[in-house]
A and B are shown apart, each in its own frame.
Chain A
Amino acid sequence: MLSLWPLLAALVSLSISSYAKSSTGDSVLVVLDPSLQRDNFSIFFKGLEANGYDLTFRAPKDVQPAVIQDDHAEFSHVILFAPEAKSPCYSQDITPQSLVTLLEKGTNLLVALSTKQTPLTSLAAEFSLILPPAGTPLVSHFPERDTPSTVVPVNVSVNPVVPSSLPPVWFSGTPFAFGNNPLLVPILNASPESFAADSDRDSGADAVYDAAEKGGEGFWAGSSLGLVAGFQTLGGARATWVGGIELFSDEYAEKTIGGIKSGNEPFAADVASWTFQESNVLRIESVAHHRVNETLPRETYTINDHVTFSAQVSKYNPETSAWEPYSGISDLQLEFTMLDPHIRTSLIPVPGEPGKYSVTFRVPDRHGVFKFVLDYKRKGWNFLESTTVVPVVPPRHDEYPRFLSPAWPYYAGAISTSIGFLVFSALWLTGDNQEQKKSKSAKSE
């Protein structure tokens, strides 16, 4: 009897354990190179399954299950753990060109690289990641440890994806430098003392430095190198590039550093949850525009009108797998644009209405076809974009101010002329007979 309760408790706790679902779907395809053992990554994969994802495994060479079938993406997410596979081992649907197409279709991607030159190297260049020459892994002699210098513990710096309170993470693999694509989201940067070299003995260090000095090979070193980088595409899909696959391995997850357990397990879980659109996911529910004292939108606005624009924004909550109104954006901007923004103002969250942002402004004194443009791009979050086209017309011919006071002399002049004309005609017509009689009498004489 007593032993039942712990069992029940265990069952119950299992069921209410963190059960986060993605906002875009649960099906995951894991393309695992045959040389790698699935069991080496069991902690990572079990964590994913516990979160509710359906994992399907396949080798790079396999044609089934296909990622894209009949121009339709079959899986919501793809994990590509084939860092050393050469191009003959790739089936048609995961060539680099197809992977770009996959991203355009909204499938999220988690890719692991290695120090070898593979087709993934050329694909990484498309994401503006600059890889070092082949065979130059990340090397760091600090901190002092008993692992080889290519196995490096890295502190998690501040980044939008993973909390920086995590313990250091074990990493081994290739670093990469960042190009200037603003869509890149650095997640894990290398430690300042690390660099990329083709041997872990310092005897060749001078050669590397000299080569860099002469401007030949370039110098991959320092904390500007990235080890794990995310990429937010304009279409909404996310791609994460990891410099080495060992970061996800069970061995690194259980390794200790300075007495405490490494942060690999929670780090990998957080990276996966960001890549699979669980965290930091926003969307615009609706936008509305109307004149200040009205509620319904109009087809056209007149110049110098006062217009209120409001947007409803919600954030995805992975725990309840629902979209909840979110008022936490403090720098949402609205642009009222015709070729160039004529008005640029901030959309302020409305107190008392969660998720609603609103602003009231005066339409410029210029007629034309304007757009309400909402364009919110921040690193680590997906992008909010909304465009509403609305014509702005000049006032109608009877909407201009009338009966102006400076014009009264003119009104008086015109009215007096009309009255004068009427009086004159009346007098002329009544006086007509007299004249005729006079002239007739004059003639007769």
Chain B
Amino acid sequence: MAGPKSTTSSASSNAVRSLLRAYNENTSSRLKFIDAFLLFLMLSGIIQFVYCILVTNFPFNAFLAGFGSCVGQFVLTASLRSQVNPVNRAEFKDVSPERAFADFALGSIVLHFFVYNFLG
């Protein structure tokens, strides 16, 4: 019983390492830059969520606004990443990378407008 587990765990740790290696090699620096931003947003969101659960969820609208801004910005950036990724060019025939960034900026501005309206 210990055997298969250790093999799977070692296999999974090997797999994680190979995944990280593959990621480092295959992703361009621009995509990594986007990924860094994504990571920052995710951490910010997790901190707010943990605070909400552990300390207090009053005022709830401020929590929703703050958390929503992290989540919204995250998905918009993830969308930008998938649209800019050259692997997906076949999917996004009508959306050039410049158009993708414009969409991203517009969406983010609208998102932040609602966030600040709801925050206060």
Contact = CB atoms under 8 A, between A and B. Distances in A.
Interface string B48-80: 100100011011001101110110010001000
Interface in B5-63: 28, 30, 33, 37, 40-41, 44-45, 47-48, 51, 55-56, 58-59, 62-63
A63 to B, nearest CB: 79
A431 interface: yes
A420 B47 contact: no
A5 interface: no
A204 B62 CA distance: 91
Given A406-B55, A417-B44, A411 B62 contact: yes
A410 B66 contact: yes
Contacts of A427: 33
B41 A420 contact: yes
Most buried by A among B45, B47, B108: B108
Interface string B83-120: 00000000000000000010001001000100110011
Interface in A382-409: 402-404, 406-407, 409
B33 A428 contact: yes
A115 B80 CA distance: 106
Contacts of B70: 413, 417
A213 B63 CA distance: 80
A402 B105 CA distance: 29
Contacts of B112: 414, 417-418, 421
Contacts of A406: 55-56, 58-59
A414 B77 CA distance: 16
Contact of B62 (A410, A424, A431): A410
A416 B42 CA distance: 12
Nearest to A418: B112
Contacts of A411: 62, 66, 119
Interface range on chain B: under 10, 10 to 19, 20 to 34, or 35 or more? 20 to 34
Contacts of A418: 69, 112, 115
Contacts of B115: 414, 417-418
B69 A413 contact: yes
A187 to B, nearest CB: 65
A410 B58 contact: no
Most buried by B among A411, A413, A420, A427: A413
A302 to B, nearest CB: 20
Contacts of B56: 406
Contacts of A417: 41, 44, 69-70, 73, 112, 115
A409 B66 contact: yes
Given A406-B55, A411-B66, A420 B73 contact: yes
A181 interface: no
Contact of B63 (A410, A420, A425): A410
B65 A414 contact: yes
B47 A407 contact: no
Contacts of A435: 28, 30
Nearest to A438: B28
B71 to A, nearest CB: 10
B65 A409 contact: no
A121 to B, nearest CB: 72
Nearest to B112: A418
A420 to B, nearest CB: 6
B68 to A, nearest CB: 9
Given A417-B73, A421-B112, A410 B44 contact: no
A413 B37 contact: no
A357 B112 CA distance: 55
B59 A407 contact: yes
A420 B28 CA distance: 21
Contacts of B67: 410, 413
Interface in A425-445: 425, 427-429, 431, 435
18 contacts: A402-B120, A404-B58, A407-B62, A409-B47, A412-B66, A413-B45, A413-B69, A417-B69, A417-B70, A418-B112, A418-B115, A420-B40, A421-B73, A421-B112, A425-B105, A425-B108, A431-B33, A435-B28
Closest 4 CB pairs of A and B: A410-B66, A407-B62, A413-B66, A410-B62
Given A410-B119, A413-B47, 18 more contacts: A402-B120, A403-B120, A404-B62, A407-B59, A409-B48, A410-B66, A413-B66, A414-B66, A414-B112, A417-B41, A417-B115, A418-B112, A420-B37, A420-B41, A420-B73, A421-B108, A428-B33, A435-B30
